[in-house]
Amino acid sequence: KQEVTQIPAALSVPEGENLVLNCSFTDSAIYNLQWFRQDPGKGLTSLLLIQSSQREQTSGRLNASLDKSSGRSTLYIAASQPGDSATYLCALKVGAYSGAGSYQLTFGKGTKLSVIP
Amino acid sequence: NAGVTQTPKFQVLKTGQSMTLQCAQDMNHNSMYWYRQDPGMGLRLIYYSASEGTTDKGEVPNGYNVSRLNKREFSLRLESAAPSQTSVYFCASSDSEYLALRHTQYFGPGTRLTVL
């Protein structure tokens, strides 16, 4: 069974600092990997999606990388802002398309980020 | 365009009571999902519906039933609520099955359920 681990569980940084969030997984046979953001009391918002054939994706100050061979993904946030404070979750789609209902995600438990002004 | 909506936002039940959580999406998505989120456990899939007229069990289906009422709506029912079902419930939707492999899921704001 795929296991997804996010370390650390919580992180506090001063505003303006660059930071890296980590996600590791046990089964390298993934189809894609996504990073989500969750604000307190809210649902999840997709930030970046990396297909298994890709190495990284960028959106604004965010850059996500994927290394399937080592079972790792990182989310890099440049010049952090207080508005970046949220919980960040990574999620994997395991395996290949195999018919009806095959799109299921396995989630990590998240890293709670606090950016201090 | 409201995306994915869920009702109610909050609910308190007594053990043994029943209730239905409602979810609707206006993005013309084929696939819909129900997750629960618990502290220290992350999000876990309860049930999903790959397309209208089909439903399948996820990782933690016991104690729940679902109905895909039409393409827009996917409901989750607790027939006899238990304290272990205290959780935050999220509904999500995504494109057709094949497209969903390349695209993300869109999540609703969640229902916070407490079972006493």
Structure confidence by residue, pLDDT tens digits, A8-52: 999 999 999 999 999 999 988 887 899 999 998 888 999 999 988
Test A105 with B48 for CB contact under 8 angstroms.
Answer: no
Enter the tokens of residue A52.
């298994």
Please tell me the distance from the alpha carbon of residue A94 to that of residue A103, in angstroms, as a whole number: 8
- By C-alpha distance, the chain A residue nearest B50 is A101
Structure-model confidence comparison of residues B18 and B97, the more confident one: B18
Structure confidence by residue, pLDDT tens digits, B65-80: 999 989 999 999 999 9
**Interface with chain A: mutation pick from B47, B101, B106, highest number of A CBs within 10 Å:** B101
Q: Name the band, by pLDDT with cuts 50, 70 and 90, for residue A100.
A: very low
Test B42 with A49 for CB contact under 8 angstroms.
Answer: no
Nearest to A112 by CA among B10, B93, B70, B42: B42
Test A101 with B48 for CB contact under 8 angstroms.
Answer: yes
Structure confidence by residue, pLDDT tens digits, A44-94: 999 999 988 899 999 999 999 999 999 999 999 999 999 999 999 999 886
Confidence at residue A60, expressed as pLDDT on a 0 to 100 scale: 96
Q: Name the band, by pLDDT with cuts 50, 70 and 90, for residue B96.
A: low
